Amino acid sequence: MGEMKVLGRHIIAEMYGCDSCLLSDLDKAIAVLREAVEVSGATYLGEFHKRFEPWGGVTVIIALAESHISLHTWPEYGYAALDIFTCGEKADPWKAYEHVVRSFRPEKVNVTEMVRGLIRMEKLQEMR
């Protein structure tokens, strides 16, 4: 079958039972995601963030050279959706994930990792 190469890893996490005060704190969410970028070894490019009314949910999206990390919160439900996609060998999305989960302290997490761009090395060499 030949050697396979993974181009990226995509972690999708649903965090339940988070403190609603944490989930509505935009400054905290920004700081946590910036720290997650740093601990993962990813390269920060820029960010977007917004607070939503009336419930105070927040969205933080950080663009990475390796792809992105994003957090969307629903304080009224104690729920947050975390998305971390990195490509290449440098960044470790699981380190970012662990940092975010430690910071938001959910009661329950459902997490899935999707391998992105699984290709045969022979095919990659043919394309070059």
Q: Check 10, 24, 40, 67 and give the catalytic one.
A: 67
CA distances in angstroms from 46 to 38, 52, 57, 79, 112, listed in the order given:
13, 20, 21, 25, 25
Burial 15-44 (b: 16+ CB within 10 A, else e): beebebebbbbbebbbebbeebbeebebee
DSSP label of 19: -
Q: Is 68 a catalytic residue?
A: no
Q: Is 24 a catalytic residue?
A: no
Q: Is 99 a catalytic residue?
A: no
Tokens standing for 55?
Answer: 């419930």
Q: Check 10, 40, 70, 72 and give the catalytic one.
A: 72
Q: Give catalytic residues, as residue numbers.
A: 67, 72, 87
